[in-house]
Structure 1
Amino acid sequence: MTHVCQLIAFPLSARVGKIRRCAEVLQGSANQTSRDAYWRKTVQQLGDRLEAIGLPTDEVQHQLRQFRHAVQQEYLRRDYVLVHGGKSPDGAA
């Protein structure tokens, strides 16, 4: 009897520390060239790790898109905090 199993990797979009660090580095980079290089290196490393554990290519791409979206949201959140003098957007009406 054989059992079929499915590999489920921890979602990249839930790696809050990695997301925050990535947004911090991107915002602090001196120029677009260094931002692009850091982003390419980060995405390549994450993609390589997911492929190494056996995730299918389409799932790797999905995880990387979700990570990109999470970093963009963190980038916007950090901009908001800077512009509004340290007041975090807490969602209160």
Structure 2
Amino acid sequence: MKKDDDLPLLRFDFRPPPCQVIVFPMEARIGKARHVAEKYLSRKSKEQRDGYWNLIVKNLREELEKRGLQPDQIQKEIVAFRDAVSKEMRKAEAKANQSPRPAEWDDGPRRA
């Protein structure tokens, strides 16, 4: 067999190339952050809130571990999600404290 007769197909490496898992960023999961913030704020006591938050963190950690992330990446994603939930909680509280009618709609005092 001559060198020119060698088929390149026979030298092909059939092993899959190494891959990197890219998870959708936790801070971008606005719907989930909004849902968690709403549920968190609806809890009556600090113990209930802490228990709910610990459950959320446990579930997130398990999900990210299953997807193959390293512990430092998991911690980074959980902190980012915590920040997103805090932002949604501030928005919800601001909305709850808002007047039902904006000030520019106010006609002022009624005249007799």
TM-score by length of 2: 0.72
Higher mean C-alpha deviation, range 14-23 or range 30-39 = 14-23
Residues of 1 paired with 2:100 and 2:18: CA distance? 50
The structure-2 alpha-carbon separation of the partners of 1:23 and 1:86, relative to structure 1 and needing over 3 Å to count, comes to: farther
Does residue 80 of the first structure (1) align with residue 94 of the second (2)?
yes
Residues of 1 paired with 2:25 and 2:62: CA distance? 15
Does residue 61 of the first structure (1) align with residue 75 of the second (2)?
yes
Q: How far has the Cα of 1:57 moved from its partner?
A: 0.7
Q: How many residues align?
A: 87
Greater CA radius of gyration, 1 or 2?
2
Does residue 25 of the first structure (1) align with residue 39 of the second (2)?
yes
RMSD between superposed Cα atoms in Å? 1.5
Write the letter of the residue equivalent to 2:29.
R
Q: How far has the Cα of 1:19 moved from its partner?
A: 0.5
- Sequence identity (%): 33
Any stretches of 5+ residues in structure 2 without a counterpart? 1-12, 102-112
Q: How far has the Cα of 1:13 moved from its partner?
A: 1.2
Write the letter of the residue equivalent to 2:39.
V
Any stretches of 5+ residues in structure 1 without a counterpart? 88-93
Q: 1:38 pairs with 47, 52, 62, which one? A: 52
Q: How far has the Cα of 1:85 moved from its partner?
A: 2.5
Q: How far has the Cα of 1:86 moved from its partner?
A: 5.3
TM-score by length of 1: 0.86
